[in-house]
Structure formats: structure tokens, C-alpha cells
Amino acid sequence: MDNIRNNMAARAVDLRLYIDYNPDQARFKALHADPAKPPVMIFLKYFDFAHQTLTGQGKIFVDREDKVSSLIPYIQEKMNWPSTTPIQLYEVGHPILIKAMWLTV
């Protein structure tokens, strides 16, 4: 940990470590089958406009080439929403850089 801190977070006041557990081992292994094309881990957050709250909803591993629209069924299941629920997705680059994503099929 000291080596990681010194080489990757030398200017940080504290070092934060994210440890992930993935119960879907079959999907995880399938996505990691080609070391030249590692999957991307996406953190899902839900913004409740009415209450102005942001909550973490989990994460998902996806292939880098997957379309954004492939996330819709997973999100609907995670949120217990019917499949007819319209969803607007946003990408957060920085706290001040939030942009809508195109949902092409």
C-alpha cells in the first residue's frame, strides 16, 4: 500500500482503495477472456430530481464496444422498474462536466 500511495497518490491527503466483489463469475470470466480487450466497470448512480439526492445503485462490467442502450435492462431490473420505464442516462466526466448520452439501438 505504501508503494501504491507513493507512486500513484503522493499528493493525496488520504489513500482510498476500492475493492470489488463480483458474484457473477461466469459473466466476469467471459468479459475477461481476451486480455487485450479488458471490460470497463461502470458505477451506476440514481439522481432523484424531486428530492435532489444522488444514490449509488451498484456497478456493472461491460465490453468496451457495447452500446449504451445495453445497460437499460440491467438498470430497470436493479431499480425494480417495468421495462416500459423511460430512462435518461448521463456521463459524468467531472463534477462540472455532465452530459446526456445517446441511446442508439
Long-range contacts of 96-102 (CB under 8 A, 24+ apart): 101/68, 102/68
The predicted pLDDT at position 105 comes to: 56
Coil, strand, or helix at residue 79? helix
Tens place of pLDDT per residue across the chain (105 aa)? 778 777 777 777 777 777 777 777 887 788 778 888 888 888 888 888 899 998 988 888 888 888 888 888 888 988 889 999 888 888 887 778 888 887 765
The predicted pLDDT at position 10 comes to: 74
| Alpha-carbon distance values, 35 to 30, 39, 67, 69 (Å) | 11, 9, 20, 25
The predicted pLDDT at position 58 comes to: 83
Q: Would you say the pTM of this structure is higher than 0.85? A: no
DSSP conformation class of 102: P
Specify whether the CB–CB gap between 60 and 77 falls below 8 A. no
